[in-house]
């Protein structure tokens, strides 16, 4: 039985230092760019959005980049452009945020949930194959028709650690399905096949479409925002049209000096465009994207080194053939060695001035997917077990040395205090 910690909490003074889970890195350059945009008279999608798209495409070595108001919008536009239809199935990791699966439901299609790798948290390709076979044998929840055609795959690079690209590509060829990467955490991130091989950046023709997030706590931010990257001309054109009401011309094209007011509605589209105000912030963030990634990596390696001897936890893996974006720093508790559970551990850290989060409660353990499709915990055992042990610690470029030291000390002291036998 976990011990009560209420007495110890109430007896302790308020922490002298409080470390937030995240603090955005905004410099005067970002402020000046946004102010210049406000003064320019062009606030919605226009020249700065186009500049942001061009810069981003160059950085990930992609052919087309479409700036949008969220990664969710990018995912939605991607599956719509790929002609996802109601009654079709898409393989989706259960270990992901709501958006990855919900865009499948937007179109009336069915997300078929796949378990995670127990070390990285990324999708388990062996289980993906197993889920396809189980579906055909009628061994998945009854709500999933055994004749459900699997047409796509939406893997996630969890925390910014890219999954194995050759495995992903081989699996897609084997199943004859399209791939849309949820790369919300994976900018800038890369993979290579050995120490002498060239790096392949996430978005460098790694899938049909790669979708990124610029939410406030991501590796770069536009406040709210996202990007869809593709090498396919037709997909790019469809996503661009559908991002703004299905209009044949965007606002910049209609109202800039050389444009014309007229346009045609060619499809019933959406309102997903990114504004120039947001893009102004993104342009300056892109200039610092690699330096911020390097700083996150330095901090992550410092914490790994400082916590390496703590037997009550498992640390995030460092993989030699990856450039890790380090959006997250997830640890896993070895609960069999502790007298508290994950929730109680997070409460202890909070009272000691360390904010944390969990990435994530797996989809199959959410009410909608339980009730709508009938998923059971034992059908996705790795994710079911892993999420009960997961805690994401603070990691952001502006972390000060005293904040890093405080996080490490509090984690060590708390685990020592609640070690079994202590």
For residue 152, report the phi and psi dihedrals to the nearest 5 degrees.
Answer: -150, 170
Could you tell me if 186 and 157 are in contact, meaning their C-beta atoms sit under 8 angstroms apart? yes
CA 359 vs. chain centroid, Å, equals: 10
Q: Per the residue annotation, which of 18, 50, 218, 271 is the catalytic one?
A: 218
How many Å apart are CA 412 and CA 389, to the nearest integer? 16
162: helix, coil or strand? coil
The secondary structure of residue 338, as a DSSP letter, is: B
Could you tell me if 148 and 87 are in contact, meaning their C-beta atoms sit under 8 angstroms apart? yes
**Which residue stretches of 137-191 are H helix?**
165-175
Could you tell me if 207 and 179 are in contact, meaning their C-beta atoms sit under 8 angstroms apart? yes
Exposure on the CB side of residue 43, measured as CA atoms within 13 A: 4
Angle between helices 289-307 and 276-287 (to 10 degrees): 60
Could you tell me if 357 and 363 are in contact, meaning their C-beta atoms sit under 8 angstroms apart? no
Among 103, 104, 161, 118, residue whose Cα is nearest residue 328? 161
DSSP bridge pairs for 331: 391
Exposure on the CB side of residue 26, measured as CA atoms within 13 A: 17
Could you tell me if 127 and 136 are in contact, meaning their C-beta atoms sit under 8 angstroms apart? no
For 263, other C-beta atoms within 10 Å of its C-beta total: 17
How many Å apart are CA 327 and CA 323, to the nearest integer? 12
Could you tell me if 406 and 354 are in contact, meaning their C-beta atoms sit under 8 angstroms apart? yes
Backbone dihedral region of 413: left (phi > 0), alpha (psi from -120 to 50 degrees) or beta? alpha
- Tell me whether strands 89-93 and 150-153 are parallel, antiparallel or unpaired: parallel
Among 36, 26, 76, 101, residue whose Cα is nearest residue 282? 26
For residue 361, report the phi and psi dihedrals to the nearest 5 degrees.
Answer: -70, 120
Q: Answer yes or no: 50 catalytic.
A: no
Catalytic positions are 218
């Amino acid at each position: 039985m976990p011990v009560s910690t209420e007495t110890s909490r109430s007896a302790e003074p308020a922490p002298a230092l409080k470390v937030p889970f995240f603090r955005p890195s905004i410099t005067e350059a970002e402020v000046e760019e946004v102010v210049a945009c406000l003064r320019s008279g062009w606030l919605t999608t226009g020249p700065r959005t186009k500049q942001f798209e061009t810069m981003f495409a160059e950085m990930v070595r992609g052919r087309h980049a479409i700036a949008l108001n969220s990664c969710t919008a990018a995912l939605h536009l991607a599956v719509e452009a790929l002609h996802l239809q109601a009654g079709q199935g898409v393989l989706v990791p259960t270990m992901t945020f709501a958006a990855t699966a919900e865009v499948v439901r937007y179109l009336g299609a069915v997300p078929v949930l796949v378990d995670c790798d127990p070390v990285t948290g990324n999708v388990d390709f062996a289980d993906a194959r197993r889920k396809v076979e189980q579906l055909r044998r009628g061994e998945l929840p009854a709500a999933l028709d055994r004749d459900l055609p699997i047409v796509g795959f939406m893997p996630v690079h969890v925390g910014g650690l890219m999954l194995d690209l050759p495995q992903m590509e081989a699996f897609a060829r084997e199943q004859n399905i399209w791939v849309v990467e949820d790369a919300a955490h994976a900018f800038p991130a890369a993979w290579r096949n050995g120490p002498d091989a060239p790096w392949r950046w996430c978005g460098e023709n790694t899938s049909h479409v790669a979708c990124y997030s610029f939410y406030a706590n991501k590796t770069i931010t536009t406040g709210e925002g996202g990007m869809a990257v593709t090498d396919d001309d037709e997909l790019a054109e469809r996503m661009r049209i559908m991002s703004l009401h299905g209009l044949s011309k965007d606002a910049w094209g209609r109202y800039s000096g050389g444009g014309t007011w007229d346009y045609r509605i060619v499809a019933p589209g959406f309102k997903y465009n990114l504004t120039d105000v947001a893009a102004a912030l993104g342009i300056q963030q892109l200039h610092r994207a690699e330096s911020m990634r390097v700083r996150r990596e330095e901090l992550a390696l410092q914490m790994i080194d400082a916590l390496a001897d703590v037997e009550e936890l498992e640390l995030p893996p460092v993989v030699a053939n990856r450039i890790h974006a380090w959006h997250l720093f997830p640890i896993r508790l070895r609960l069999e060695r502790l007298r508290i559970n994950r929730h109680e551990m997070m409460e202890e850290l909070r009272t000691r001035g360390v904010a944390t989060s969990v990435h994530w409660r797996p989809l199959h353990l959410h009410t909608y997917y339980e009730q709508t499709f009938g998923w059971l915990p034992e059908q996705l055992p790795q994710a079911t077990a892993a999420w009960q042990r997961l805690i994401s610690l603070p990691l952001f470029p502006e972390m000060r040395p005293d904040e890093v030291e405080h996080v490490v000390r509090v984690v060590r002291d708390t685990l020592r205090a609640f070690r079994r036998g202590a």
